[in-house]
Chains A and B, each alone.
Chain A
Amino acid sequence: MTEPTGLVGTRGRPLDDARRANPNRVRRRPPVGRIAVYVALAVLALAFAAPFAWMVSTSLKTGPQAIATPPVWIPNPWVFGNYLDALTKINFPLAVRNSLTYAVPAVVGTVASCSLVAYGFARIRWPGRDIVFIVLLATMMLPGQVTFIPLYVIFAKLGWVGTFLPLLVPTFLGNPFFIFLLRQFFLGIPSELSEAARIDGASEFRILTRIIVPLSWPALITVGLFTFIDKWTDFFGPLIYLQNPDLQPLSLAVQTFQSAHKTDWPLSMAASVAITLPLIVLYFFAQRKFIEGIQITGLKG
């Protein structure tokens, strides 16, 4: 990453080197522009962080305090019991188990199938490969709405509605975006490595599992991470296939706290914190991956 390029604070003065040589001068006369930037950033950051603070604060309040005017930020008393209430009300262990029943096989399926397919596109030269790859890229443009209705009809006829199969089977058949991402990564691995193995008589599958995969952990983890987040937060898939209360993942269960008639705000926010927290923890562990992932998505266009 290159150093961010300056806009404010260097106004009309090509004096960068002089300043770097004598940083005290900058500190003595802080440019007005710089101060304005910090003030703007601080105000915006407060505005963006306030909803989080409010979510957590509400989740720890009593019902009456949640609707107090003027608003109270620090709960008094701290009602940690809200979490217990929220979690028993939606049968939390079951909902988490359902979320994991969806997300974990999906991660395994996506990582395995996308590695295979990406290997076929990146490391084997076969006639027609590049045309087929363009078809794969083109499928990324197709909105899900165009396909989900006939898929629902098929799954309904197969008797799969009300099971995890409609959500899991497709994950074992590759995902165009992740195939693209892994292909880019595999292309960067020196071909001498696999040539040597080929001469020793290794099969392509063996080259994939013994040489390519061990060198590709960063990319595979990215794929796994994004698949996990995608499935953990998926709402639409479970909404149409998992209406049975015993199969509801957390994303559907959380919604039941909100009703048009009467909402218990502290419980609703406690449930929201519960579904969000694992993702925030993941973010702090894998911050770089998140940023990379976004920028790769951006570069794709």
Chain B
Amino acid sequence: MSSLLPRRRRRLTGGVDWTPRTRRNFAVGLLFISPWLLGFLGFYLYPALASLYYSFTDIKLLNDPHWVGLANYQQMVADPLFWKSLGNTIFLTLIGIPLAVTSALGIALLLNVKRIVGLGVFRTIFYLPVVVPSVASALLWIWLLNPQYGLVNQGLSAIGLPHPSWFYDADWSKPGIILMMIWGAGDVVIIYLGALQGVPKSLYEAAEVDGAGAWAKIRNVTIPMISPAILFNLITGAIGAFQYFTQAYVISEGTVGRGSGAAGGIENSLLFYGLNLYNNAFRYFKIGYASALAWVLLVIVLATTLLLLRVARSRVYYEGDR
């Protein structure tokens, strides 16, 4: 056995010559990364595998888990709240995220105009909402979108527009969330600004020589050149939508409470995937079922990322690959 060990180790590390110095570096290197190594084993690897195991059991909280096979996954298929939360989250991903990402792009394009006066002030105004803690922004938007006294509805009725009940109306609660998302997308603006500054001026000059106007330049030069940033924002946005929790929780609690059935806003219209998972784990203590939800979430997140990357392969321009 002992004679096999070095050879196996050599294979693992790609044919390393184990001189005393390499051995010392190996030991010291492992010592330095040992905090992370412990964290990786204890706080990533073990829990990830444990939750996979739990998802096939009936564990509640502190009882011993019993193997139930695919029962949790079958229950999921038959659970109307699972489908409700999935539908709500897909709405957020397909409508909310693209709206937020596009409006942020619009703002970034405006800020990118040559020699804009007051760039720093504008950038600060658009970025500051990101600094507001989720709890505070949820409270603020409950108040802004209050059906009777909220600033938004007071404004809408002043100019004679219809004024919906927002978080108190199942059809309008998600649009309310999307407004809040657009307001809080200042970090996306900053990412775009960084990407826009990397577009070579010569391309614009070439487009001008060809007689391109402002819009043509945006469509044919700017958008293709910053497409990696757009892709990045779409992917992180989609992943974020599947983990969306704090605002959904605070707004649900603060508007209709947990009176009827699962707490997820009016008629569960704000029951997003993350909130449904939390409810199952920490309100009903259905640990096994919640773990199954978590693994389905992981699969969805990975699939969405791969799908976007695949779509991107034909649509995204990366400088340096020809």
Q: Contact residues of A with B, CB < 8 Å?
A: 1-14, 33-34, 37-38, 40-41, 44-45, 48-52, 54-55, 58, 66-67, 69-71, 113, 116-117, 119-121, 124-129, 132, 135-136, 139, 141-154, 156-157, 170, 172-174, 176, 179, 204, 229, 232-233, 235-236, 239-240, 251-252, 254-255, 257-261, 263, 265, 268-269, 271-273, 275-276, 279-280, 282-283, 287, 290-291, 294-295, 297-299, 301
Structural contact, B294 and A145, CB atoms closer than 8 A: yes
Indicate if the CB atoms of B208 and A147 lie closer than 8 Å: no
Q: Total number of A-B contacts with CB less than 8 angstroms?
A: 327
Q: Of the candidates B44, B133, B139, B197, which one forms a contact with A258 in the assembled complex, judged by CB atoms under 8 Å apart?
A: B139
Most interface-central of A51, A121, A141, A239 (chain B CB within 10 A): A51
Contact of B144 among A54, A135, A297 (CB under 8 A): A54
The prevalent SS among residues of A at the interface is helix
Tell me, in angstroms, the Cα distance from A258 to B134 when the chains sit together. Answer: 14
Residues from chain A with a CB closer than 8 A to the CB of B274 are 145
Instruction: Tell me the minimal C-beta distance from B311 to chain A in angstroms.
Output: 15
Q: Which residues of B contact A174 (CB under 8 A)?
A: 35-36, 39
Which residues of chain B have C-beta atoms less than 8 A from A116's C-beta? 32-33, 35
Residue of A nearest to B132 (CB): A276
Q: Mark B236-250, 1 if CB is under 8 A from A, else 0.
A: 100100110110011
Partner of B143, one of A1, A153, A265: A265
Complex: how many Å from CA A204 to CA B27? Answer: 12
Q: Is the CB of B282 within 8 A of A48?
A: no
Contact A113 B36 (CB under 8 A): yes
**Among A125, A126, A261, A273, which residue has the most Cβ atoms of chain B within 10 A?**
A126
Q: Quick check: A147 and B48 within 8 Å, CB to CB?
A: yes
Q: Can you spell out 19 A-B residue pairs with CB atoms less than 8 angstroms apart?
A: A4-B112, A14-B208, A116-B33, A120-B28, A126-B28, A136-B40, A139-B44, A142-B44, A145-B298, A149-B54, A149-B281, A170-B43, A173-B39, A176-B36, A235-B134, A260-B257, A263-B143, A290-B131, A291-B190
Nearest-neighbour CB distance to chain B for A151, whole angstroms, equals 5
- The answer to whether B51 and A7 touch across the interface, beta carbons within 8 angstroms, is no
Cα–Cα distance between A45 and B208 once the two chains are bound (Å): 30
Residues of B within 8 A of A (CB): 12-14, 16, 22, 25-26, 28-33, 35-36, 38-40, 42-44, 46-48, 50-51, 54, 59, 61-62, 107, 109-117, 119, 121-129, 131-136, 138-144, 148-149, 151, 154, 158, 183, 187, 190-191, 193-199, 201, 204-205, 208-209, 211-214, 217-218, 222, 228-229, 231-232, 235-236, 239, 242-243, 245-246, 249-250, 253-257, 259, 274, 277, 281-282, 287, 290-291, 293-295, 297-298, 301-302, 305
Chain B, residue nearest A49 (CB)? B125
> By the criterion CB–CB under 8 Å, are B208 and A12 in contact?
yes
CA distance A232 to B131 in the complex (A): 11
Tell me which of A157, A260, A294 contacts B187 (CB under 8 A). Answer: A294
Tell whether, in the assembled complex, residue B12 and residue A179 are in contact, meaning their CB atoms are under 8 Å apart: no
Are A44 and B39 in contact, with the CB atoms below 8 A?
no
- The 7 lowest CB-CB distance pairs between A and B, nearest first, are A6-B114, A120-B32, A173-B39, A126-B29, A260-B257, A258-B254, A150-B50
Q: By the criterion CB–CB under 8 Å, are A45 and B125 in contact?
A: yes
A4 to B193, CA, bound (A): 9
Asked whether, in the complex, the Cβ of B40 is within 8 Å of the Cβ of A135, the reply is yes
Given contacts A176-B36, A283-B128, 9 further A-B pairs with CB under 8 A are A12-B211, A144-B243, A148-B47, A149-B281, A149-B290, A150-B51, A153-B50, A239-B249, A258-B142
